[in-house]
């Protein structure tokens, strides 16, 4: 066997062992050997390399009744850190964590900036965040930025509710900080966050409802983005022919009937006063306000159409809804299910997110960790705040 082939196999085994320690640790060398069907000598040599490079640490002994107690191995999650940023229309949320998502720092800033101001604001936020991480061998391994729009090849393609298309965000920030920067659609990150830290299903749909609505698709344990990044723009599926105009150019998109901005616009019209906070609508509904009830009933109706279409198109193991309405009014999900006449609906598992906005930020941590470690499958299951 050539030296090149030996190095290739060694790299493959290296990744397999690191991935196993990440997902199954603490684990002993002997258990790794059994699981991966690699010789104890191969395991020992690669583990020692991983320890020498600060990626793996020994954390003590496994209790056994007979014989020598095996040393347990664990991933050194604090060998590097990740910065995850949710760049929404109204806020910029930043999250600094270790490589398994355990929070070091988080903050949120208002976002009503033009393109030039936004880039400078992001530089200021990242500069400040870089002063806060503890000492580590590799420092900050990467920055992920969640874009509320379509991303392809690490570039912003289309954003319906703010304009980022002329900004070379990734290139500008990478050049400025000399740190890898990854751009990804926020609904995709939310789906990744849910799968990695909460619901480990091989087929799942995550529905994100904020200023707009998007879905993250996990099919056979992999994120599905389509041929050019447009997969998941489910908010722009038409539910009312020739209905309300949408920034995408069509009329009657689901976006215009269930996302927060049009809901609050409709509620403001009923109340005769401008209402910009979704919490007010939720609170009024809980107190029995008739106008609020009307808006929520409309939300239930159109969401049942949307969920029905998702169910028939993808038939996933689980549908997770990430919306302030379903998070703070959990009985709404049951009402959505009851509004669906599809016979398949009784077999579907529809749940509200437990991570809420953190799902996007934790998805960003996953992107940094995966790219830094060059492993394929991560189920981090870390603690989060």
Q: Closest by alpha carbon to 151, among 56, 230, 76, 68? A: 230
Query: What pLDDT is stored for residue 293 in this prediction?
Result: 95
Query: What pLDDT is stored for residue 243 in this prediction?
Result: 86
pLDDT in tens, 164-180: 777 888 999 999 999 99
Query: What pLDDT is stored for residue 1 in this prediction?
Result: 46
User: What mean pLDDT do residues 271-295 have?
Assistant: 93
**Co-location of 242 and 298 in the same domain:** yes
Query: What pLDDT is stored for residue 383 in this prediction?
Result: 41
pLDDT band at 160 (very low <50, low <70, confident <90, very high): confident
C-alpha of 271 from chain center: 35
The count of structural domains within the chain is: 3
Q: Is residue 155 over pLDDT 80?
A: yes
Q: Is residue 113 over pLDDT 80?
A: no
Residue 117 lies in a domain: yes
pLDDT band at 384 (very low <50, low <70, confident <90, very high): very low
- 6 is written with which tokens? 């030996």
Residue 238 lies in a domain: yes
Residue 101 lies in a domain: yes
Residue 244 lies in a domain: yes
pLDDT in tens, 60-106: 766 655 556 778 999 999 999 999 999 988 889 999 999 999 999 99
Q: Express as a percent the part of the chain with pLDDT over 90.
A: 41
CB atoms under 10 Å from CB of 172, counted, come to 14
**Co-location of 100 and 71 in the same domain:** no
pLDDT in tens, 47-71: 999 999 899 998 876 665 555 677 8
**Co-location of 125 and 68 in the same domain:** no
The pTM of the whole model exceeds 0.75: yes
**Co-location of 223 and 318 in the same domain:** yes
Query: What pLDDT is stored for residue 344 in this prediction?
Result: 59
**Co-location of 96 and 55 in the same domain:** no
At 64, which CATH number? Answer: 1.10.10.10
pLDDT in tens, 337-353: 888 866 656 667 888 88
Computed over every residue of the chain, the mean pLDDT equals 86
C-alpha 226/C-alpha 101 separation (Å) is 28
Query: What pLDDT is stored for residue 343 in this prediction?
Result: 60
pLDDT band at 117 (very low <50, low <70, confident <90, very high): confident
Query: What pLDDT is stored for residue 218 in this prediction?
Result: 92
Query: What pLDDT is stored for residue 385 in this prediction?
Result: 40
Residue 379 lies in a domain: no
Residue 346 lies in a domain: yes
* Residue 106 near residue 385 (C-beta atoms within 8 A): yes
**Co-location of 85 and 34 in the same domain:** no
Query: What pLDDT is stored for residue 348 in this prediction?
Result: 74
Please say which residue of 75, 99, 127 terminates a domain. 75
**Co-location of 224 and 347 in the same domain:** yes
Collect all residues with Cβ–Cβ distance below 8 Å to 10 and sequence separation of at least 6.
46
Segments forming the whole domain that contains residue 134: 81-191
Q: Closest by alpha carbon to 298, among 326, 336, 324, 261? A: 336
Residue 146 lies in a domain: yes
At 134, which CATH number? Answer: 3.30.420.40
C-alpha 74/C-alpha 67 separation (Å) is 22
Query: What pLDDT is stored for residue 206 in this prediction?
Result: 93
Q: Could you give the C-alpha distances from 364 to 181, 187, 347, 375, in angstroms and in order?
A: 10, 11, 31, 15
Residue 300 lies in a domain: yes
**Co-location of 207 and 342 in the same domain:** yes
Query: What pLDDT is stored for residue 364 in this prediction?
Result: 96
Please say which residue of 39, 56, 75 terminates a domain. 75
Give the torsion through C-alpha atoms of 301, 303, 306, 311, to 10 deg. Answer: -100
**Co-location of 8 and 113 in the same domain:** no
C-alpha 240/C-alpha 218 separation (Å) is 27
C-alpha 353/C-alpha 147 separation (Å) is 20
**Co-location of 147 and 172 in the same domain:** yes
**Co-location of 15 and 130 in the same domain:** no
- 79 is written with which tokens? 């060998």
Collect all residues with Cβ–Cβ distance below 8 Å to 41 and sequence separation of at least 6.
none
**Co-location of 20 and 151 in the same domain:** no
pLDDT in tens, 299-334: 999 999 999 888 888 889 999 999 999 989 878 998
Please say which residue of 43, 75, 107 terminates a domain. 75
C-alpha of 26 from chain center: 25
């Amino acid at each position: 066997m050539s030296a090149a082939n030996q190095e290739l196999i060694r790299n493959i085994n290296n990744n397999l062992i690191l991935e196993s320690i990440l997902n199954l640790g603490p684990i002993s060398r002997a258990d790794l050997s059994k699981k991966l069907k690699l010789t104890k000598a191969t395991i020992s040599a690669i583990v020692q390399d991983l320890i020498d490079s600060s990626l793996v640490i020994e954390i003590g002994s496994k209790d056994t009744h007979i014989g020598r107690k095996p040393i347990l191995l664990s991933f050194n999650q604090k060998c590097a850190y990740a910065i995850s940023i949710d760049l929404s229309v109204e806020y910029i949320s930043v999250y600094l964590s270790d490589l398994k998502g355990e929070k070091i720092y988080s903050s949120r800033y208002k976002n009503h900036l033009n393109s030039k101001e936004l880039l400078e604001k992001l530089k200021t936020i990242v500069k400040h965040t870089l002063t806060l991480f503890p000492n580590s061998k590799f420092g900050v391994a990467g920055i992920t930025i969640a874009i509320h729009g379509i991303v392809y090849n690490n570039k912003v393609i289309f954003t319906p509710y703010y304009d980022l298309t002329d900004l070379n965000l990734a290139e500008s920030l990478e050049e400025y900080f000399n740190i890898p920067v990854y751009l990804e659609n926020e609904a995709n990150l939310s789906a990744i966050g849910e799968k990695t830290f909460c619901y480990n299903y091989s087929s799942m749909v995550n529905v994100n409802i904020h200023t707009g609505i998007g879905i993250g698709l996990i099919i056979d344990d992999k994120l599905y983005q389509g041929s050019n990044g447009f997969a998941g723009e489910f908010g722009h599926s038409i539910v009312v022919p020739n209905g309300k105009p949408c920034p995408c150019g069509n009329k009657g998109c689901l976006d215009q009937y269930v996302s927060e901005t049009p809901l609050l616009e409709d509620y403001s019209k009923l109340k005769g006063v401008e209402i910009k906070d979704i919490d007010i609508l939720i609170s009024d509904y809980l107190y029995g306000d008739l106008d609020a009830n009307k808006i929520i009933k409309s939300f239930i109706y159109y969401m049942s159409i949307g969920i029905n279409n998702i169910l028939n198109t993808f038939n996933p193991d689980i549908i997770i809804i990430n919306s302030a309405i379903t998070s703070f009014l959990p009985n709404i999900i049951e009402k959505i299910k009851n509004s669906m006449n599809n016979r398949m609906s009784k077999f579907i598992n529809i749940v509200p997110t437990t991570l809420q906005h953190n799902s996007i930020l934790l998805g960003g941590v996953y992107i940094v960790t995966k790219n830094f470690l060059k492993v394929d499958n991560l189920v981090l299951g870390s603690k989060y705040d």
